[in-house]
Chains A and B, each alone.
Chain A
Amino acid sequence: MSNLKYDVIVVGAGPAGLAAATVLAKAGVKVIVIERGRFAGSKNVMGGVFYSDCMKGIIDDFPGKAPVERHIIDQRIWLLDNNSFVGFNHKNELFNKKPYNCHTVFRAKFDNWFAKQAADAGALIITRTLAKEAIIENNRIVGITTGRPDGDIKADCVIIADGVNSLLAKSLGFRKEIKRESVALAVKEVIGLDEKIINDRFNVKSGEGVTIEVTGSFFNGEAMAFIYTNKKSISLGVGMVVEDLVKNKINPNDLLESFKAHPSVAPLINGGETKEYLAHLIPEGGYKEMPKLIGNGVMVVGDAAMMVDAIHREGSNLAVTSGKLAAETYIEAAKAGDFSKKSLSLYEEKLKESFVMKDLKKYKGVPALLQHNKRLLQQYPKILNNAAFEILNVNGVSKHDKEKLLWKNMKQQIGVSNLIRDLFKLWRNVG
């Protein structure tokens, strides 16, 4: 590798890096992707919903032969209390129409497939190779050192796509250490079950899938959990902001086990066999915690740039889009042969015009809102669960008296002024 010069080095074979590499290779750009795992995808984890739309202009007729699990037609939200949940559902036959909106995927399989598409387009994918440091000459990034002997690689431009921990972005001073409030640890299990059992339990046909997003008083308002259907398995996980894990002295695996044992969850996975246990950080700090995105000869994409829209569980689509926009920026910059920060600022402009920055900006207040207003997901779900039970449980008390009691409880637990304030905050930050 030593004497080879590439046009672009992409660090990290995840959705952002592989999207960039595919677009670049298709345009005839000489691009190399460096991946530290044994194969592309082997280190990569998400809950597992991948939205299709972002693949437009990258992979023709996606999903085609991509290894996807089930397309999602039924999305559920649960506000979980200790013995119960109050839920919202949206199941729609329109989600059964192609092109499918989203699928569950396994990233080890999906990213490996994506890397093959990039390679077929002409990108060189080098695995088992750790990108160590940026090579800087005249205040410009001109390459990457790797852990291999004679492993320096030179290029006009480096695209940093090394994921949430992005030691590279940190070493370049693009950001400080991630704050504990800005990142959530998610742990997940893949639980094997017969396809037919999954179809029956979730009320779908083969190929059709369900997602359940869970939060609420069961977790003291401080965790988000999910249950996703795959072809022959369930992906089940729970995530909590690191600050809350530390403060509450919580062990993530204990948290996961308590979720699995909940009376509303246990029957869904009953008889299943755990196939894999995974842990990964989710960069949830949002717009306000994003690092610098560009420098001379460098662009940062995907999780490394904290591009996650946590309340809509979107991340990989933001990653793919940012990778594509970085590639397009390189192609433009190459016309003038100018890879300076000023020239690459086109990447920031493209991001601002896309849904990526628009969404991140729109929900910029959400991480702090949830971190500093715990009662939103603590007390309200409990009140809702109690209210549902009281209204539905017939015990000789009149509905009028029940409503009076519920309102009295609401006033005692939250207070009218707090209720108004909370609704206003929600409307300001989420509406």
Chain B
Amino acid sequence: MRLEDKLYLDGYKIDEIGGSHLVIKDMSVCLDCELQQCLYVCPCGVYDFDAKRGEIEVNYDACLECGTCRIACQYNNIEWRYPRGGFGVSYKFG
């Protein structure tokens, strides 16, 4: 089963006004990063390399708020907050 199809099953309330609760502090650090582990450790594929722009894209609307990216990043380069109250993932089962 594809990850996109799985994420489609999850309930989210996207914070269009507040914007991303995940912010890359300094993109140049990411571009020099030898591992770029955020691209594979995230269980929801939030981080994606955008070849056109030459940057890592943050698809925060898919985030399940686990915290793995923050802990995995050896440069502590991800500003990781909780979404605003009431926003983000909302599980039916949990």
**Interface set of A (CB-CB < 8 Å, partner B):** 36-39, 41-46, 106-111, 127-130, 146-148, 164-165, 167, 177-180, 183, 185, 187, 189-190, 233, 242, 245-246, 249-253, 257, 274-281
Contacts and interface: CB of A to CB of B under 8 A. Distances in A.
18 contacts: A37-B86, A43-B90, A43-B91, A108-B92, A129-B86, A130-B85, A147-B85, A187-B43, A245-B41, A246-B35, A251-B40, A251-B43, A276-B10, A276-B93, A277-B6, A278-B10, A279-B64, A279-B68
Interface of B: 1, 3, 6-7, 9-10, 13, 35, 37, 40-45, 64-68, 70-72, 76, 80-86, 88-94
B89 A43 contact: yes
DSSP class of B's interface residues: helix, strand, loop or mixed? loop
Nearest to B84: A147
B86 A190 contact: no
Given A245-B41, A249-B40, A275-B9, 16 more contacts: A38-B86, A39-B90, A108-B92, A108-B93, A109-B93, A147-B84, A177-B70, A180-B71, A252-B41, A253-B6, A253-B45, A275-B92, A276-B92, A277-B7, A278-B93, A279-B44
- Residue of B9, B40, B66 with most chain A CB atoms under a 10 A cut-off: B66
A13 to B, nearest CB: 12
A61 to B, nearest CB: 24
A322 to B, nearest CB: 20
Contact of B90 (A42, A106, A129): A42
A147 B94 CA distance: 25
Given A185-B68, A278-B64, A45 B1 contact: no
A280 B93 CA distance: 13
Nearest to A182: B71
A281 B76 contact: no
Contacts of B88: 43
B57 to A, nearest CB: 17
A179 to B, nearest CB: 8
B9 A279 contact: no
Contact of A245 (B67, B68, B90, B92): B68
A190 B13 CA distance: 21
Nearest to A39: B90
Contacts of B64: 278-280
Contacts of B13: 38
Q: With a 10 A CB-CB cut-off, give which of B7, B41, B71 has the most chain A CB atoms.
A: B71
Given A38-B13, A277-B10, A128 B68 contact: no
Contacts of B91: 41-45, 107-108, 276, 278
A198 to B, nearest CB: 15
Contacts of B93: 106-109, 190, 233, 275-276, 278
B43 A178 contact: no
Given A108-B91, A250-B40, A165 B1 contact: no
Q: Looking at A46, A185, A233, which has the most chain B CB atoms within 10 Å of its CB?
A: A185
Nearest to B76: A177
Contacts of A277: 6-7, 9-10
Contacts of B82: 36, 130, 165, 167
B37 A42 contact: no
B66 A279 contact: yes
A183 B41 CA distance: 13
A109 B67 CA distance: 23
Nearest to B3: A253
